[in-house]
Amino acid sequence: MPAGSASTSTSAAAAAAAASTLLPRCHSLAAVKQLHAHFLSHSNRPFPYNHFLSKLLSLPSATVAVTNAASDYALLLLSSHPAPTAFSYNVTLRFFASSRPGTTLRLFLRMLRSGLRPDAYTLPFLLLAAARSPSRALAHSAHALLEKLGLRDHDHTVHSLITMYSYLGDHLAARRVFDGIPHRDVVSWNSMIKAYERAGMVAEVEGMFRSMVAEGTVAPNGVTVAVVLTACRDAGNMVLGRWVEEWVRSAGMEVDSLIGSALVGMYEKCGEMAEARRVFDGIIDKDVVTWNAMITGYAQNGMSNEAIALFHSMREVGMRPDKITLVGVLTSCAAVGALELGAELDRYASIRGLYNNVYVGTALVDMYAKCGDLDKAIQVFGSMPCKNEASWNALICGLAFNGRGHDAIQQFELMINEIGLQPDDITFIGVLSACVHAGLLEYGRRLFNSLTPVFKIIPKIEHYSCMVDLLARAGHLEEAWDFAEKIPGKADAVMLGALLAACRKCRNVEVGERVINRIMELEPSNSWNYVVSSKIYANSDRMDDSAKMIGLMRERGVSKTPGCSWVEVKGKVLEFYASTELQHGAEDMYQLMAILVDEMRLEGYAPNLDLV
């Protein structure tokens, strides 16, 4: 070897060694750029391009999402490389494949023009880009190139080919690829099962899994089971889910965090929270995904106190919450008014760098709004660097439900006219509710009438309920009744309840009696309906009918649902029901309540006895 070549090789090795030592200490794009500048200005050694390109992939996604700055830097590194290798291109292609299919294709063509031959690690990135591209022609071209290069039977490429066709919705093509694999391994089976699961084809998922078990050539692994259970969850198929759990245990497989989390999610989606908790408690090594599955399940099934209690248990065992944990717990805090814990999670998110995550930010806005701290909700919303439709919905709905209807409408108009975001059905529930609180009948009419022709949204029962409430509160009771009668399907109890309350307020027994007859069919066990109906008759001097409603209530064994209150003490939520005997401090509490009632009377506040 010539002396110069040996010297260059040694110098390159030294540069690579230095990069290997220093790059792991870089935790942000800015730090990587600083090290890049240091290499260029303080070293005569060849620049280690591949090391820097590889480092981009290992940076936290919150720091290096594929933004303009990060992508420009990756392309700059590749373009300035004097002799890029297939590895250089593969690393860069991987950086763009899932989110920038056009850039991936251009880089791949540049690689071909440079004379480099794509290998089995290059093609999967091209196939992934083709899957994300709206052009099916690109997918077919990528497949043809794969065949031409003789990479058809390579594990990396054939599995990526199945995935590509599944993303494109061409399950027949994906199945043809699978059927053509001469020696299938577990990844082959998992790729095809995942393709069916992604399409919601639960019968095909079940068929593939049973075939895999029956053949016995390749044993299902944890990924296989998790994918099948995910399909069961999405379809609400608990029968199949139970059978899969029984098969797992009979096969001697460990219910680890992967399988356990999938089982928990399946049972939760089917409403079987006790079964979900049984599985959760049986998992020995729980990771953050397992904890998140259980906490999220509690939150989504309305068991907010249980979610918060489990979160405290999670912290007690030393498990660090992540962004998914925060979203689940913040949702529960919003449901029970746990402002103290919610604010603590806000501080935690800020310290851990989770504050800028759009889902965490949205959950914080929702929590503060539902806990009544609108100023803080607006502050968090304003500080969010990235907002989506859900973020705007949280603010608009929060303003509406706190009685600030005009502010909610102002934010809605800002969202569609200046920001240019497309509102969804949730947005319109919030805005129509804002019209209810602000008494904006005509604005609400125009908005409702524009749902389908302008925004291409089919009205749901919630939108109809808002309109009935809006008309009723404006005193248009006959119109509200006619509107409810014309709703596709049937008016629900929530809608009729709002109309019934308006009839009581307006002392309209004619419409009220029609509503009473209908709502009693829908909710014969709701005590509120009997009490309000009795009041409507009493206000019209129909005392016999008023007494009959109370008698009917007793005859049917309907009792008043006890009122429930929550109080937050040191981050823990305590629940109280009316008539519940307190174990400690009851005498002091009742004395304090008596003092408060006296103070209220002295200040001129009279008790509201309308529903007594």
- CATH code at 159? 1.25.40
For residues 244 and 224, is the Cβ–Cβ distance under 8 A?
Answer: no
Distance of alpha carbon 452 from alpha carbon 459, whole angstroms: 7
Of 137, 142, 129, the residue nearest 96 (C-alpha):
129
Residues 6+ apart with CB under 8 A from 100: 66, 71, 129
Task: Give residue 588's pLDDT.
Answer: 74
The pTM score is: 0.77
Of 61, 158, 141, 153, the residue nearest 101 (C-alpha):
141
Q: Give the count of domains, the chain.
A: 1
Q: Is residue 155 part of a domain?
A: yes
For residues 367 and 397, is the Cβ–Cβ distance under 8 A?
Answer: no
For residues 265 and 297, is the Cβ–Cβ distance under 8 A?
Answer: yes
> pLDDT of 163-179, one tens digit each?
999 999 999 999 999 99
User: Distances in Å between the alpha carbon of 432 and those of 26, 207, 409, 426, 467?
Assistant: 49, 46, 9, 10, 7
Q: Is residue 135 part of a domain?
A: yes
Residue 236, token pair as written in the block: 């609400």
Q: Is residue 443 part of a domain?
A: no
Task: Give residue 390's pLDDT.
Answer: 95
Q: Is residue 558 part of a domain?
A: no
Residue 494, token pair as written in the block: 């929530």
- Average pLDDT, whole number, for the chain? 86
Q: Which of 224-233, 473-482, 506-515 has the highest mean pLDDT?
A: 224-233
Distance of alpha carbon 394 from alpha carbon 400, whole angstroms: 10
466 pLDDT band, cuts 50/70/90, is: very high
For residues 126 and 108, is the Cβ–Cβ distance under 8 A?
Answer: yes
Q: Is residue 524 part of a domain?
A: no
Name the percent of the chain lying above pLDDT 70.
Answer: 85
Residues 6+ apart with CB under 8 A from 462: 425, 429
Residue 97, token pair as written in the block: 């494949």
* Eight-state DSSP code of residue 419: I
- Specify the higher pLDDT residue, 287 or 558: 287
Compute the average pLDDT of residues 380-399.
Answer: 94
445 pLDDT band, cuts 50/70/90, is: very high
For the range 475-478, what are the long-range contacts, defined as Cβ-Cβ under 8 Å and sequence gap of 24 or more? 475/502, 475/506, 476/441, 477/502, 477/503, 477/506, 477/508, 477/511, 478/511
Is 586's pLDDT higher than 80?
no
Task: Give residue 1's pLDDT.
Answer: 44
- Specify the higher pLDDT residue, 80 or 177: 177
Q: Is residue 302 part of a domain?
A: no
Of 174, 210, 206, the residue nearest 191 (C-alpha):
174
- Specify the higher pLDDT residue, 14 or 78: 78
Task: Give residue 4's pLDDT.
Answer: 45
Domain range enclosing 150: 84-182
Least confident range from 141-155, 452-466, 470-484: namely 141-155
Sign of CA dihedral 577, 583, 587, 592: negative
Q: Is residue 279 part of a domain?
A: no
Distance of alpha carbon 315 from alpha carbon 533, whole angstroms: 49
Distance of alpha carbon 391 from alpha carbon 575, whole angstroms: 30
Sign of CA dihedral 19, 22, 25, 28: negative
Distance of alpha carbon 535 from alpha carbon 94, whole angstroms: 69
Task: Give residue 16's pLDDT.
Answer: 64
Compute the average pLDDT of residues 223-246.
Answer: 97
Q: Is residue 16 part of a domain?
A: no
610 pLDDT band, cuts 50/70/90, is: low
